[in-house]
Structure 1
Amino acid sequence: MYQPIHPLRSSTLPLRRINYHVNHWGPEQSPLPPLVLLHGWMDVGASYQFTVDALRQQRRILAPDWRGFGQTSTPQADHYVFADYLADLDMLLDHYAPGQAVDLVGHSMGGNVAMMYAGVRPERIRRLVNLEGFGMPATRPAQAPTRYAQWIDEIKQLHQGEKTLNTYDDASGVARRLMKTNPRLSQDKADWLAQHWARPNAQGRWEILGDPAHKVTSAQLFRVDETLALYARITAQVLAVEASDDSLGQWWKERYSLDEYHERLTHVPNCRMAVVQDAGHMLHHDQPEAVARLIEEFLN
């Protein structure tokens, strides 16, 4: 199994009526700004371990598990609203970095949260690294009736037990699942991730540490005009990182393209781009050393 160079520590913070689990690395005190790492959908904060191990500079690093993921508790609700991530992040920073501007890294969904938050609270972010946080395809207001109906139907399916997450015989089954999703993931890293990505339930089956309600489609349409307004308010320098595999094109086909994403980034006042070679969407697993170099060179 993978042996971390910098073992993670854990803390739990009561926040907004749930218990937030936060992973920590590095010294508690550092002259450098705190580095905050935001994970993606159906992932956990510990997912950044390989990148943290590849960083050369010692600094304070925090990686929360989003609500309903990892070891953070599940709210008393049957769906998730994206704006909650912004409020959660704001209150986490109030606690762990009061009065400080932080360096923020977000992957996938976490990258989307980071970009939005940097537009909402520009003074809280010094520099921002967006790892494949592409946003979503553009929508039209005319799609709203169908979207609301879809959301209602999926809420019903959730309560009828039709939206569930797979369970596995043991941790090795979880590791095989991770390697099937990402063929570049090595066995030792998959075995390590499985211990943080899942746990045995009362029946001894290993279940993913994610609330099935995360599978319910958002009731709200993705509004590009709102997103661009947020981008325009970002004052931090931004590094937008992509993997050489076009995961965006693989997901969305003709509905959304890298060219469209790149056009959106022109609305960010100070943004540069980089590509990590021989990597897919989980680029921080595929090429942690390359990702760590990009992050450190940009932050410095």
Structure 2
Amino acid sequence: MKDGSLSAVFSRTFGAGPRRVLAVHCSLAHSGAWRGLGDILKDEVTLTGFDMLSHGRSPDWDGRGDFQTRNVEAGLALLDSEASAVDLIGHSFGATVALLMAQARPDKIRSLVLIEPVLFAVTRLEAPELQAALEEEEAPFNDLLRAGEVEQATRLFNRMWGTGKPKWADMPEQARASMVRGMKAVPMSFEALYLDDKCLLKPGALDPVAMPVLLLSGGASQPVMSLINEGLARRMPRANTRVVPEAGHMLPITHAGVTAKILDQFWGGKE
């Protein structure tokens, strides 16, 4: 690609199986988040994950364009390097990136798995009271961001959406610094996630996403997440939802074994 920052996007591969899979991680993480899933499925899949801009070993977002769109472009560059269609997985913010990739290049995607996509515009529209309660819960770290207290904002954000272990103070300094780096990009996606600036919820917008789609959520996650999945599923021709009762937002990491089993069933046409 002509854009230097996008051509420098880092990716890594897990497994050596026949099924080609491309995966997009959540905010504040990196492509290594897929290691657990990739190791379980190593004989079945070759899973490639890339570090989003401002995350992992990829360069910082340079502020040009739209943060979500720039990561979509990075993902599409990897997708275009594949000889044939792949299975695409996205988690959290990465799931919104994956959804836009599927909308843009449905011919290159065999199936789509969206794990807890944080497209809060769905519940702003369809469950406004529940969404308002979530945004009230988010207010403290948003206030800290506006005040320039990025590390404290990251700590609260991680407490709300992360696994809960290890605690912030127990994390290695490098891990905390990496998360703070990623946190700086989070508020740049407000319009994309809360206001649907890509018009994904407009009638017919997701009709091109006609491949088999599975939307996963954790039963112990924020209450809006299953509703977001249901709202998106209604807008896609071949989409189904599934809840992992004991899991939270980070289910592909905390419940990699369960997730792997569900993916096997989905890819095998048994979901």
Same fold (TM over 0.5): yes
Read off the aligned partner of 1:24 and give its amino acid letter. Answer: T
Change (3 A) 1:296 1:15: farther
- Paired residue for 2:52? 66
Indicate the larger mover: 126-135 or 214-223.
214-223
1:241-294 CA-partner distances (Å, limit 9, x unpaired): 110024153xxxxxxx74465133112111111111211111122211111111
Read off the aligned partner of 2:12 and give its amino acid letter. Answer: N
Alpha-carbon shift at residue 70 of structure 1 (Å): 1.2
Q: Give secondary structure in 1 for the equivalent of 2:18.
A: coil
1:169-200 CA-partner distances (Å, limit 9, x unpaired): xxxxx9x999855685555xx98x9688456x
Alpha-carbon shift at residue 224 of structure 1 (Å): 8.0
- Paired residue for 1:146? none
Mapped to 2, the partners of 1:216 and 1:76 lie a distance apart of 12
- Paired residue for 2:142? none
Read off the aligned partner of 1:130 and give its amino acid letter. Answer: L
Alpha-carbon shift at residue 79 of structure 1 (Å): 7.5
- Paired residue for 2:200? 226
1:83-130 CA-partner distances (Å, limit 9, x unpaired): 2222111112223x1x31011110011111112221221101001111
Alpha-carbon shift at residue 234 of structure 1 (Å): 1.0
The yes-or-no answer on 1:132 pairing with 2:116 is: yes
Read off the aligned partner of 1:16 and give its amino acid letter. Answer: D
TM alignment of 1:271-282, pairs within 5 A: 271-282=239-250
TM alignment of 1:84-103, pairs within 5 A: 84-95=70-81, 97=82, 99-103=83-87
Indicate the larger mover: 260-269 or 126-135.
260-269
Contact 2:27 2:92 in 1 (8 A): yes
The yes-or-no answer on 1:288 pairing with 2:250 is: no
Q: Give secondary structure in 2 for the equivalent of 1:210.
A: helix
Q: Give secondary structure in 1 for the equivalent of 2:248.
A: coil
Q: Name structure 1 gaps, 5 residues minimum.
A: 1-13, 141-159, 168-173, 200-205, 250-256
CA RMSD of aligned residues (A): 3.6
Q: Give secondary structure in 2 for the equivalent of 1:227.
A: coil
Mapped to 2, the partners of 1:64 and 1:196 lie a distance apart of 19
Mapped to 2, the partners of 1:16 and 1:72 lie a distance apart of 13
Q: Give secondary structure in 2 for the equivalent of 1:37.
A: strand
Read off the aligned partner of 1:163 and give its amino acid letter. Answer: G
Mapped to 2, the partners of 1:86 and 1:184 lie a distance apart of 26
User: Percentage identity across aligned positions?
Assistant: 19
Match of 2:210 among 231, 235, 245: 235
Alpha-carbon shift at residue 230 of structure 1 (Å): 3.4
Indicate the larger mover: 60-69 or 84-93.
84-93
Read off the aligned partner of 1:269 and give its amino acid letter. Answer: P
Structure with max Cα Rg: 1
Q: Give secondary structure in 2 for the equivalent of 1:269.
A: coil
Alignment size in residue pairs: 241
Match of 1:165 among 127, 150, 154: 150
Mapped to 2, the partners of 1:50 and 1:15 lie a distance apart of 33
- Paired residue for 2:92? 108
Q: Give secondary structure in 1 for the equivalent of 2:257.
A: helix
TM alignment of 1:35-46, pairs within 5 A: 35-46=21-32
- Paired residue for 2:130? none
- Paired residue for 1:157? none
- Paired residue for 1:212? 184
Change (3 A) 1:59 1:194: farther
Read off the aligned partner of 2:110 and give its amino acid letter. Answer: R
Contact 1:54 1:289 in 2 (8 A): yes
Contact 2:233 2:241 in 1 (8 A): no
Change (3 A) 1:272 1:79: same
Mapped to 1, the partners of 2:161 and 2:209 lie a distance apart of 33
Mapped to 2, the partners of 1:42 and 1:129 lie a distance apart of 20
Contact 1:240 1:274 in 2 (8 A): yes
Read off the aligned partner of 1:57 and give its amino acid letter. Answer: D
- Paired residue for 1:16? 3
